[in-house]
Amino acid sequence: MSVPAAPALTFLRARRRAHRSPQQRSDRFTGLYTLGLYAAIGAWIGFHVLRQSPARGGSADWLTGGGLARAGTAALLLGLLATVRYATWQGPVVFSEPDIHFLLGAPLPRAELVRGRLARGLLLGGGLGALLGLSAFVLLEAELGAAAWPLLAAALLGPAVFGVLATALGWMVESSAGRTRALLRASPLLLAAAVAAGLGGGAAASLAPWSGPWGWALGPLLAAAGGHDPAWPIQAGLLAAVTLAAVLAGWREAGSITVEQLDRRAGIRTGLAANLFTADLRGAALLRRQAVLGLVGTRRLRLRHPRRRWLALPWRDALSLMRTPGRAGWALVLCGGGALGVAAAPDRKVLAAAAIVAAYLGAAQLLEPLRGEADQPDASRMLPWRWGDMVLLHTVTPVVALTVIGLLVTALAAALGLLAGTAVGMALGACPLVAAALVWSAAIPSQRGRLGPDQLMTASLMGEVGGPVYLLRWAATGPLLALVVLFPPVLMLQGAAVGPPPRAQAAITNAVFFLVVALAVEVAWLRSRHPPA
Amino acid sequence: MTERPVLQLRGLRRTYGEVVALDQLDLEVAHGECVALVGHNGSGKTTTLRLVAGLLEPTNGDVIVAGDNMRLDRARAALAFVPDNPLLYGDLTVREHLELIGLAHGMGGGLDDRVTGLLDRLDLTGRQEFLPGQLSRGLRQKTQLACALVRPFHVIVLDEPVVGLDPPSQQTLHELLHKAKQDGAAILLSTHQLPFAAGLADRAVVLHEGRVVEEGPFRAVMAGAEAARLGLR
């Protein structure tokens, strides 16, 4: 006894539209218009900047000599991973909580309700793919100067169809709890495949167009960009066939998803909207993490508690890290990536600064227990330490963990031939100091607590420019602090690298001295803190 | 009260990872009967009601409504659910919510009269053009109740229905549910407000840590040793 969905949906749309004020409609139009305008202007400026930059024969050679195949494959694989991971907690079909209650609780055909949203999701996926392809076209056209129309067609169509395929696969993940769990477990493999595709040599470049749908989507682009890929029509055909099959399979499965899965996603979306409305990005990230943990289950790892009182908080933080190993993984990726980048190009100042910020973000991943403490400072009154001492105790485990990560990355850099001789010893010795600098820099903003109504009110009163700048300052304090502490020693060492040995020795001494003084200031400041209001 | 069960829960079990929220619940509710689920927080009441409403999938067992499995459209059409927390569209008025429910349940003629009558009965007429953001918690709860009551149903499931309602509204709800019972509807509700349940429920099911620890006539169960042991009265 199903009731046709169309009358209820038409009524709902009409009534909601009627309640939208002219101001809301105007805001929506202005937003879309502004977005489109900026995208067009950005693409035009980007194209001309790239085209008018000095001759880039090296870049063009790299792109046509396999770089495009490797980078493109890695980018599309990462895009696919992001889409299907997104589907584990949201996905292309998400209803609101009232929709769940009123529409899915009524005898309306579920498949019909789902298909409307699925169609929208597929269109959006194709649109995002086309946007990615448009960026690639701007870059390639400026660098290679190839025939524009074939390149544009290949750059738009391949990624657009791949976007539709990724969305259809996302829906298949969303509609099955078993597939969701399997994907969460298999994600590291997909990530490893993307990294291997990106870093691989000539063999990876020649295999890329046949490595799967991501390669098939790239084939026509490689051919249009002047690369050698005569089989691109077959690849395009394969991509179209697989995409059609995935869309049809997803369409057929539309009615199979349970209300429970849709309700879970609706609840997450409500929480997410509330967090983003109050600029609480961390709250949004925690919500996402909680949603994923709810699916794969919390790891019930045990760690024997210590006997010494001062080790209680480091023990608690170690437990937290063991139960959310993703945090350590991100710290490894961000710190390791930054450190390897600096080791590969030690004379680049901008790269060094970017590496410090990336490493800071990695260190901040390890300080979640401290941020949790700052969220509810009253709870910390149960503990026998002053706030400042407690903050320092919360940094013990992160400093140790980050030092271990640093030692591992140094060993990897030495194995890859990026570090040699005394530089290896110096890097190993610097690990604890740099780890402490990063963690303590991250500890300072970590204890400010949630962004409260008073801060939001202040931001609101400061207007369209002042408000966002005020909020940005909240997020920027930590990375800036890390730069203040670590960038001067890096500059000293870079300057000394081109000078005579006595000057290098003096620079090392100066850098270490600067770092030790900066760390002492940070510790003194952290110890003097009081609980957030 | 007739004996034919319109709601049947067979071996209902629900786990969250290793946590068993509900274990082997068997329950039948007949036409014109009201059953109250009582128990402490975390005893499994809301899980039971959400399973019955189809918002959760059972790990094992079945929910049968008017002879059909809850997964079928026909079963959903026969069951009305009132959650403990009002869930309303922010951009639909009170009246439009009721109209939408009517459309979604295929109610044709007579919908306007029914909506008007129910709004009047629940003292919502003066606020029928209000959006949820303009309503207090209690008025939103009343709107949610109206949404459940506006359409025909064989079974109504209510999770803490009187939270946020003032005494006159509680009395109105009591009367409306009593009328529904007389018309043959089965009622399954959970509440900590025992005086409210006492005037309505024929039977009580005491849940503790996901299991039924006692079941029987409401007054006898609430006067019994198990309710005393659990501190439920």
Nearest 10 degrees: Cα torsion A50, A52, A57, A59: -10
Would an 8 Å CB–CB cutoff place B99 in contact with chain A?
yes
What are the percentages of helix, strand and coil residues in chain A, rounded to 5? 80, 0, 20
Do the Cβ atoms of A11 and B100 come within 8 Å? yes
The helix, strand and coil proportions of chain B, stated in percent and rounded to the nearest 5, come to 35, 25, 35
Whether the model pTM is above 0.90: no
Please report residues of B whose CB lies closer than 8 A to that of A96: 89
Query: Could you tell me if A278 and A457 are in contact, meaning their C-beta atoms sit under 8 angstroms apart?
Result: no
Model confidence pLDDT, tens digit, residues A370-384: 988 888 776 676 777
Tell me if B87 and A100 make a contact (CB, 8 A cut-off): yes
State whether B73 and A107 contact (CB < 8 Å). yes
Handedness of CA B136, B139, B144, B150 (dihedral sign): negative
Mean pLDDT of A48-54: 66
Q: Which pLDDT value is given to residue A56?
A: 55
Render pLDDT for B70-115 as a digit per residue (tens, 0 to 9). Answer: 888 888 889 999 998 888 888 889 999 999 888 888 887 788 999 9
Phi, psi of B25, rounded to the nearest 5 degrees: -90, 120
Which one of A1, A8, A259 has the shortest CB-CB distance to B74? A1
Distances (CA, A) of A370 to A286, A316, A380, A442: 14, 11, 10, 10
Burial status of residue A356 (CB atoms within 10 A of its CB: 0-12, 13-18, 19 or more): buried
Neighbouring residues of A118: CB distance < 8 A, sequence distance ≥ 6: A92, A93, A171, A250, A251, A254
pLDDT of residue A530: 83
Whether the predicted pLDDT of B120 surpasses 90:
yes
B55 CB within 8 Å of a chain A CB: yes
B201 burial type by CB count under 10 A (0-12 exposed, 13-18 middle, 19+ buried): buried
Continuous segment of H or E residues that includes residue B211: strand B211-217
Q: Which two tokens stand for residue A130?
A: 């086309």
Angle at CA of residue A135, ends A221 and A59, nearest 5°: 70
Side-chain-side CA neighbours of A466 within 13 Å: the count stands at 9
What residues pair up with B9 in beta bridges, in sequence order?
A: B27, B63
Interface of A with B (CB under 8 A): 1-4, 7-8, 11-12, 15-16, 19-20, 96-98, 100-103, 105-109, 258-260, 263, 297-298
Chain A contact set for B104 (CB, 8 A): 3, 8, 102-103, 106-108
Q: In one letter, which amino acid is A454? A: D
- Which tops the pLDDT comparison, A60 or B135? B135
Chain A positions touching B55 (Cβ under 8 A) are 100, 259-260, 263
Alpha-carbon distance A446 to nearest alpha carbon in chain B (angstroms)? 32
CA B187 – CA B178 distance, rounded (Å): 10
Q: Which two tokens stand for residue A22?
A: 């002219």
B83 vs A101, A108, A109: nearest CB: A101
pLDDT tens profile B167-183: 999 999 999 999 999 99
* Nearest chain A residue to B82, by CA: A101
Q: What is the pLDDT of residues A375-425, one digit of tens each?
A: 877 667 677 788 899 999 999 999 999 999 999 999 999 988 888 888 888
Residue type, B185: A
H/E run at residue B35: strand B34-38
CB A301 within 8 A of CB A323: yes
Distance CA A419, CA A497 (A): 14
Q: What is the pLDDT of residue A363?
A: 96
Find the helix or strand (DSSP H, E) in which B190 lies.
strand B186-190
Specify the higher pLDDT residue, A204 or A167: A167
What gap in Å lies between CA B86 and CA B88, rounded to an integer?
6
Q: Does B85 touch chain A (CB under 8 A)?
A: no
Distance CA A81, CA B226 (A): 54
* Rounded alpha-carbon distances, angstroms, from residue A481 to A336, A337, A358, A460, A521: 20, 20, 13, 26, 12
Angle among Cα A454, A456, A457 to the nearest 5 degrees reads 60
Nearest 5°: the CA angle A71, A75, A77 is 120
Q: Do B89 and A96 touch (CB under 8 A)?
A: yes
ipTM over 0.90: no
Structure tokens at B227: 């309710």
- For A5-21, what is the mean pLDDT? 90
pLDDT of residue A404: 97
Q: Which residue of B has its CA nearest to A104?
A: B76
- Partner residue opposite A19 with nearest CB, options B53, B74, B91: B91
CA A258 to CA A195: how far, in whole Å?
Answer: 35
What distance in Å separates the CA atoms of residue B52 and residue A455, rounded to the nearest whole number?
44
Question: What's the distance, CA B196 to chain centroid?
Answer: 13
Mutation for testing the A interface, residue in B16, B52, B76, B153 having most A CBs under 10 Å: B76
Asked if residues A336 and A349 have their Cβ atoms less than 8 Å apart, the reply is no
How many Å apart are CA A274 and CA A265, to the nearest integer?
14
Report which residue type is found at B61.
G
Q: What confidence score (pLDDT) does residue B2 get?
A: 46
Q: What is the pLDDT of residues A278-318, one digit of tens each?
A: 777 888 888 888 887 777 665 567 788 888 888 889 998 99
* Sign of the dihedral through C-alpha B136, B142, B143, B145: positive
CA distance A106 to chain B (A): 6
For A344-356, the pLDDT digits (tens) are: 888 888 889 999 9
B193, two tokens? 């407000």
Map tokens 């696919």 to a residue: A80
